[in-house]
Amino acid sequence: MSLIHPREALFKGEKPFPIIPACEHFAGSEKLITKALELQNTKGGVFDITMDCEDGAPEGREKEHAEMIMAMQTGPLNKHKMSGVRIHDYTNKHWKQDVDILVPGCGNEMAYITIPKPTAASQVSEMISYIQQAAKKAAIKREIPIHVLIETHGALKDAFEIASLPWMQVLDFGLMDFVSGHHGAIPEQCMKSPGQFEHALLFRAKATVVAAALAHGIVPAHNVTLDLKDFEKTKADAARARNEFGFLRMWSIYPTQIDAIVQAMTPDFSLISKGCEILLAAQKANWGPIQFGGDLHDRATYRYYWELAQRTHLAGQKLPEEAEKAFFDSI
């Protein structure tokens, strides 16, 4: 009997959940983007890079900055095609210019487009429509994944509607702008831990973003850690974001943070080993129900462990040899 691969058996006729890196590293200047791409190539593509048109573009040089990013996207350093772009926000006159440059110029190379600071779902919908029209005009046949930053009161109110829009892949939480949007009602120390996880308004906001994202089959992504060079603080923040709130991805703004986030977001090896044993046994049973260790397992648990296995593999961690061979050797 020929063995059926889990990607064929477990999600037939359904849209699979996006399996993307757990770390998203931001870089704004040509120098920092170059360093990030070199690091990505060294590490084998275990993290994404977001090339930033919003905060990265010098005032008055927005067009040149977008053209520089287009050149980096299509250049030889972008080997893994795991780099997205953050464009300007809806209220900024340059966002359409960003789209007009980037979609025709590197629409096949961009991993995603990030939309910042919307205040309503209608703004996001308009921006996605414009991106779709630009892609159609440029004969870009793929759907370009869209990431949206939830960092305003209006966006949080519309989080479920935003998550349901076409081409959506990630819902990001933006802590700094969200805190500042409360006009001092949230203390400054809540821009760091433990306050960022414990203040009632921030707890509610983060839980809402995760719930909205997961309800619509997209990835929730957590904000940055401000302690740039403290590996353990970044790792602790990533672990809390993952284990207490359900975030599956986190931003990095300094190279030291990348490994800390990847480590914290990668499932425990003992869980992965058990999951791989269950998947291998299920594959031999043609994905019907099985008993393992005295417990019943069926397609629901198979999907759970298959997604964990994919995330672990994407993070550059070795799976048990038999599972690596059965599930990933042909990829």
d(CA 78, CA 72): 7
Q: What is the model's pLDDT at position 330?
A: 65
Strands (E), the chain: 23-27, 48-52, 83-86, 113-115, 146-150, 168-173, 219-222, 249-252, 290-292, 295-297
Nearest to 111 by CA among 188, 202, 18: 18
Locate 193 and state its tokens: 């831990």
Q: What is the model's pLDDT at position 25?
A: 97
Locate 21 and state its tokens: 């890196």
d(CA 141, CA 147): 19
Q: What is the model's pLDDT at position 270?
A: 86
Mean pLDDT of the chain: 94
- Residue ranges, the chain, pLDDT below 50: none
Name the pTM for this structure.
0.93
Nearest to 23 by CA among 145, 167, 148, 170: 170
Residue labelled with tokens 């302690």: 227
Q: What is the model's pLDDT at position 331?
A: 54
Locate 27 and state its tokens: 């870089």
Q: What is the model's pLDDT at position 218?
A: 97
Nearest to 117 by CA among 146, 149, 80: 149
Classified by CATH at the fold level, domain 23-265 comes out as TIM Barrel (3.20.20)
Q: What is the pLDDT of residues 75-105, one digit of tens each?
A: 999 999 999 999 999 999 999 999 999 999 9
Dihedral (CA of 140, 163, 312, 87) sign: positive
d(CA 124, CA 40): 30
d(CA 61, CA 228): 28
Residues 143 and 167: beta-carbon distance below 8 Å: yes
Q: What is the pLDDT of residues 141-169, one digit of tens each?
A: 999 999 999 999 999 999 999 999 999 99
Backbone angles phi, psi at 112, to 5 degrees: -170, 170
Q: Which residues of 24-62 are buried (b: 16+ CB within 10 A; e: fewer)?
A: bbbbbeeebbeebbeebeeeebbbbbbbbbbebbeeeeb
d(CA 279, CA 41): 31
Q: Where in the chain is the domain with CATH 3.20.20.60?
A: 23-265
Q: Residue 131: CB partners within 8 Å, gap ≥ 6?
A: 99, 103, 113, 144, 146, 167
Residue 18 DSSP label: P
Q: What is the model's pLDDT at position 182?
A: 97
Amino acid at site 114: T
d(CA 289, CA 20): 28
Angle CA 168–221–256, to nearest 5: 135
d(CA 68, CA 29): 9
